[in-house]
């Protein structure tokens, strides 16, 4: 298997797990928003939980939207799928 094919396979696994986490987070948001018994002990916690779940959903959707762009820009000289857009920052943080 070619290195680019391996990276595309890793990107596919990343996409699948991102989908699973997104579905779970949407379910958790719905459950948290619909239950009144959750905020008996800490009434201020429910709005914070809803905001955090909603933010997580937004970032998950944005992450899934970037996957096709990462696949298009993936080259053989990238060591990992994460290096496609972070390469400039990685070089600054960890010199060769």
Per-residue pLDDT averaged across 90-94, rounded? 56
pLDDT (0 to 100) of residue 13: 93
Find the domain containing 37 and state its range: 3-93
The pLDDT assigned to 83 comes to 79
In angstroms, the CA 30 to CA 28 distance is 5
What angle (nearest 5°) sits at the alpha carbon of residue 48, between those of residues 46 and 53? Answer: 95
Query: How many CB atoms are closer than 10 A to CB 13?
Result: 11
Helix (H, G, I), strand (E, B) or coil at 29: helix
* Tokens, residue 2: 């070619």
How many domains does the chain fold into? Answer: 1
The pLDDT tens digits of the residues spanning 44-84 come to 888 888 999 999 999 999 999 989 988 888 888 878 888 77
**12-47 pLDDT per residue, tens:** 999 999 999 999 999 999 998 888 766 666 778 888
């Amino acid at each position: 298997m070619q290195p680019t094919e391996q990276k595309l396979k890793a990107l596919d696994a990343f996409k699948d797990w991102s989908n699973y986490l997104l579905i779970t987070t949407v379910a958790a948001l719905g459950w948290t928003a619909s239950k009144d018994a959750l905020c008996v002990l800490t009434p201020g916690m429910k709005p914070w939980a809803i905001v955090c779940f909603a933010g997580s959903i937004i970032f998950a959707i944005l992450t899934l939207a970037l996957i096709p762009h990462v696949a298009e820009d993936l080259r053989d000289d990238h060591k990992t799928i994460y290096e496609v857009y972070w390469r400039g920052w990685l070089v600054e943080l960890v010199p060769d």
